Structure 1
């Protein structure tokens, strides 16, 4: 069973417009399955700051101890963070930045990604640096263009997910339950 195949079964009791003879509303029960959504509120912001926490020490060390220029430090630090992230995520499922924000990288089976999958997602993280521009209206009604960084494209291509650590147990239990139901 994969996370992408995981379905969540929900039962909702909603009041109907029909009432009983005493004027009390009769509740209707709805049952349905929907695809599990592993994403959480502010995930992109937390992931961006986790990446900054991972890369900033590398840049500073290369700048001050190796006397590289800012551009060379940035490029070298990017390569180092890709290697560090690949190894760290394959072994532990997280980097230092992700550990601070209590995030974990999992594959479609809720395991830490393999070394090749982790390398793929870390190389593809460079496409997250290209912003998307959207036109819209803010709360005050003013139209403008906003710039957004989509921090999920590398996960989409590598078939991985970044979830909160507390969600992992729930996901594993749901996967186990779905596997038992299929048997």
Structure 2
């Protein structure tokens, strides 16, 4: 069983034009099975800050220990973050920046990724810095609610290609229990 195969049951209540004898609106219930999302809200921003923290560490090492100028230190930190990020994800399931935000990397089976998969996803993180501009419209009750453009970074392309997920540490047990439940359901279906 894989995380991408887990389905979540959602019931959505949609209003109708009819009312009951007490004047309350009648709702129809619709049941959907949607793909399970192991991620969390705001993960792209946290992942971006985690990557910056990892880069800052190597930038400071090159700048202060090896006496390189700042721009060279930043450029040298990029391959170091890719290589050491892959190694630390393989051995310790996280990097320094991800550890601060309590995030871990898991693959589609719920395990920690192999070294080659981790190296590939860290190399593909360079593609993640492609900016995406979206329109932001504030809530109606905000003062000066003018619509503006927001700059977002698409921090999910490397995970899509490598079939990995960035999850909170606290959610790993839930994901593994869902995988076990789905696996036992599949075994029961095969037996029948």
Shorter-chain TM-score tier: 0.7 to 0.9
Q: How far apart, CA to CA, are the structure 2 residues paired with 1:114 and 1:106?
A: 10
Tell me which residue corresponds to 2:190. Answer: none
The CA deviation at 1:150 is 1.1
**Contact 1:92 1:112 survives alignment (8 Å):** no
Distance 1:135 1:24, change over 3 A: closer
The CA deviation at 1:133 is 2.1
**Contact 1:105 1:113 survives alignment (8 Å):** yes
1:92 aligns with 2:92: yes
Tell me which residue corresponds to 2:116. Answer: 116
Q: TM-score, normalised by structure 2?
A: 0.82
* Aligned ranges 1:81-160 → 2 under 5 Å: 81-139=81-139, 140-160=144-164
Distance 1:10 1:148, change over 3 A: closer
Stretches of structure 2 lacking an aligned partner (at least 5 in a row): 188-192
Q: How far apart, CA to CA, are the structure 2 residues paired with 1:15 and 1:146?
A: 33
| Higher mean displacement: 23-32 or 34-43 | 23-32
The CA deviation at 1:8 is 1.8
- Deviation sequence 1:85-133 (CA, Å, 0-9, x none): 1011112221111111110000001100011110010000011122122
Q: How far apart, CA to CA, are the structure 1 residues paired with 2:178 and 2:13?
A: 22
User: How many corresponding residue pairs?
Assistant: 182
Q: TM-score, normalised by structure 1?
A: 0.86
Distance 1:42 1:24, change over 3 A: closer
Q: How far apart, CA to CA, are the structure 2 residues paired with 1:8 and 1:38?
A: 11
Q: How far apart, CA to CA, are the structure 2 residues paired with 1:97 and 1:147?
A: 22
